[in-house]
Structure 1
Amino acid sequence: MKFELLTLITALFITAVSVVQNTINGTIIDTLETPLSFANIILYEVGKEEAITGVISNDNRTYVFENPANGTYRFYRLL
Structure 2
Amino acid sequence: MIADVYIELKEGVTDPEGEATKKALRLLGFKKVKSVSSRKVFRIEIDARSKEEAEREIKLMCEKLLVNPVIQNYYIRWVE
User: TM-score w.r.t. structure 2 length?
Assistant: 0.36
Which one has a bigger Cα radius of gyration? Answer: 1
Question: Which of the pair is proportionally richer in helix?
Answer: 2
Give the number of the structure whose residues are more often strand, by fraction: 1
Normalising by structure 1, what TM-score? 0.37
